[in-house]
Amino acid sequence: MDAFVIEGGQRLDGTLRVHGSKNAALPQLAAALLTDQPLTLRDVPELADIQNMTKLLADLGCSAQRDGDAIRAQTQDQSQVHARYDVVRTMRAGICVLGPILARRGRARVSMPGGCAIGDRPIDIHLRGLEALGAAITLENGDIVAEVPGGRLRGATVFLGGPFGPTVLGTANVMSAATLARGTTIIESAACEPEIADLAKLLNAMGAKISGAGTPRVTIIGVDELGAADHRVIPDRIEAGTFLCAAAITNSDLRVTNCPVDALLAAIDRLERIGVHVEVENPSDPFRATCRVYAERSLRPVEISTQPHPGFPADLQAQFMALLTLADGNSVITERIFPERFLHVPELSRMGAKLMRQGATVVVTGVRELVGAPVMASDLRASAGLVLAALAARGTTIINRVYHLDRGYERLEERLRGVGAKIERIDTSAVSESAAPMITVRPIGEPAHA
């Protein structure tokens, strides 16, 4: 198991390039199951979740090979319809294969994704949407078993809103399935996330007829078949937001390229109020912009409520909490998408943050400084928040269990080191986690199990 050792207090200087979006690429890879023709996706980050998705595709008769930053996927065998627990449990996005298999093969058996560290994550709305398209769904031995009587889904009007707003992967699932349905589907209360608009762009390039993606009402006119496509995945807005916070929390002046500012307006609005300036240097391409980011001397407290897009993203809540621990006064953060997603709170407190949680709200009282400590990464974005806090803290922080972070940020330590951060990856497998501070730091570039 790897850990990060971070020596805080360094100013960062230079340029960070944002990689392609993990959350856009995952349902796009699943879309390869909708056709026998080849699909090429470009700027796909090299992450554990992406690898797991290619493993899942292989189990389902679709080979997916990496070539540099691209993945080429092609379905060869349609006989397999079972997405097994051992892969689906590793990543919730495994559920994205359900709609495509059902639409193309007429039946599917997909393991129920388990619970996860950020709270209860049901899939009832996915299933309701697919049932509205004509699927008969039952639960057997922890698997979702779905059949389409007659073999082909039929278009319908589907409402995908839930108690916490629309569902992102549910919209991806139903939209993908509806591309091959007989007739027209209207998704009402669809998720408006940029990852949904990008998925629709890919599906349309494959021959689908989707309009309105990126708005709450999406219309899909079903077609008989889909074909080949070559598509570049949008940049990762959450990685970009994390980099903007990295500049702000270390009081640095950084350049961030391939930055999807247009997808980050709520986060940039909060940054400006906090006293962090994001200057777009090439406004002609607001989805792949170059930004200069720098902060004022003292940071102002703000109120943040996470919301579905275009509101403030839940996936940046932990990173902004880390930033606000150093603001001048009291900030209030309310989590409206995943009310339990606060595992970073006790860890940040170990570093000297003053946080008071009540239900889905945390009051962050700014402190003068954070101090390094051994902490535990618990989920992907919580880990990113801890890295940010560690970059600003006085002294050394050890972040254990960074495999969570590796699910969503490619080689983060190398990239941060490239702009001046003092951060190393160490292998803690030989020693207990409590002993991690004692172990030797592996030289940069040496493989984990050398």
Nearer to ligand EPU, 125 or 416 (CB): 125
Least spacing, CB of residue 443 vs ligand EPU, in Å: 31
Burial class (CB in 10 A: 0-12, 13-18, 19+), 86: exposed
| Contact with ligand EPU (CB under 6 A) among 89, 121, 411, 442 | 121
Torsion of CA 259, 260, 262, 267, to 10 degrees: -80
Is 243 a binder of ligand EPU (CB under 6 A)?
A: no
Binding window for ligand EPU (CB under 6 A); candidates: 124-132, 181-189, 215-223, 390-398: 124-132
Q: Is the Cα dihedral 137, 143, 147, 152 positive or negative?
A: positive
Please report, as residue ranges, which positions from 310 to 369 form the binding site for ligand EPU (by CB under 6 A). Answer: 314-315, 337-338
Total residues contacting ligand EPU by CB under 6 A comes to 25
Q: What are phi and psi of 220, to 5 degrees?
A: -125, 120
Q: Which of 118, 63, 123 is nearest to 88 (CA)?
A: 123
116 catalytic? Reply is yes
Query: Which residue type does 180 have?
Result: L
C-beta separation of 413 from 5 below 8 A: no
Q: Taking the CA atoms of the chain, what radius of gyration do you get in angstroms?
A: 22
Binding window for ligand EPU (CB under 6 A); candidates: 115-123, 248-256, 360-368, 388-396: 115-123
The CB-side HSE value for 403 (13 A sphere, CA atoms) comes to 11
Least spacing, CB of residue 257 vs ligand EPU, in Å: 21
| Contact with ligand EPU (CB under 6 A) among 2, 5, 20, 23 | 23
Is 26 a binder of ligand EPU (CB under 6 A)?
A: yes
Rounded to whole angstroms, the Cα distance separating 150 from 183 reads 15
Burial class (CB in 10 A: 0-12, 13-18, 19+), 283: exposed
| Site map 39..78 versus ligand EPU, x via CB under 6 A | ----------------------------------------
Least spacing, CB of residue 396 vs ligand EPU, in Å: 27
C-beta separation of 210 from 179 below 8 A: yes
**In terms of DSSP bridges, do strands 165-166 and 184-188 run parallel, antiparallel, or are they unpaired?**
unpaired
The catalytic residue among 116, 192, 259, 291 is 116
| Site map 367..406 versus ligand EPU, x via CB under 6 A | -------------xx-------------------------
| Site map 149..168 versus ligand EPU, x via CB under 6 A | -------------xxx--xx
Is 174 a binder of ligand EPU (CB under 6 A)?
A: no
Rounded to whole angstroms, the Cα distance separating 262 from 163 reads 27
Residue with tokens 């350049």: 255
Binding window for ligand EPU (CB under 6 A); candidates: 50-58, 118-126, 294-302, 431-439: 118-126
| Contact with ligand EPU (CB under 6 A) among 125, 158, 264, 421 | 125
Rounded to whole angstroms, the Cα distance separating 226 from 15 reads 40
Copy the structure tokens of residue 439: 């172990």
- Which residues are designated catalytic? 116
Q: Which residues contribute to the site for ligand EPU (CB under 6 A)?
A: 23, 26, 92-93, 121-126, 162-164, 167-170, 191, 314-315, 337-338, 380-381, 408
